[in-house]
Amino acid sequence: MGSPAQTVAVLHEVAESRAPLASLVPWIAEDAVFHSPVMHTPQHGRELVMQYLGAALQLFSQHGFRYVRKIVDGQDAALEFVAGIDGIHVNGVDLISFDSEGNIKDFKVMIRPRKAIEAVRTKMLEQLEAAKGGT
C-alpha cells in the first residue's frame, strides 16, 4: 500500500484532526495489535485497534495533543507527543511497527509521568464506555 513514512503522515493528519479517523483504516493491518498504557492486555485485530486508537485520538484531540518528535527507521517508528489533561502535562511515545506494505501491525503507547497515566486511564475508560453507549 505504501511506506511507513506515508502511514505516519496519515496518522499525523488524523491526530491533528485534519482527516477523519476512517482514513486511517486502510493503513492498519488486519491482524494489528494495540498496546494501551491503560489496559492490561493487548487488543488484537483491526477493529479493536481502531476502537482503542480512535478513542485515544478523540480524547487527546480535546486536550492540545501534538506530536513533537518523529523517528522513522525502516519498518519502525517512534513518535513523541504531548498533551494536557486537567492541568496535568502528558508526555508519551507511540512505538509503531509496520508490515512489508507499510501498514501498522503493532502500536504501543507509553505515557509518563504517573499522574498522566492515571488521568489518561480515567478519561479513556469514560471515552470507551460512552462509545459503547453506557453499557
Q: CA 101, CA 58: separation in Å to the nearest integer?
A: 27
In whole angstroms, what is the distance from residue 89 CA to residue 62 CA?
A: 14
Residue 64 covered by a domain: yes
State the Cα–Cα distance between residues 94 and 12, nearest whole angstrom: 12
Task: Tally the domains of the chain.
Answer: 1
pTM score: 0.89
Say which CATH number the domain at 49 has.
Answer: 3.10.450.50
Quick check: is 135 in a domain?
no
More confident of the two residues 106 and 18:
106
Radius of gyration of the chain (CA): 14
- Domain holding 105, by residue range, is 4-130
Do the domain assignments include residue 32? Answer: yes
- Over residues 50-108, the pLDDT tens digits come to 988 888 888 888 888 999 999 999 999 999 999 999 899 999 999 999 999 999 999 99
29-58: pLDDT as tens digits:
999 999 988 888 999 999 999 988 888 888
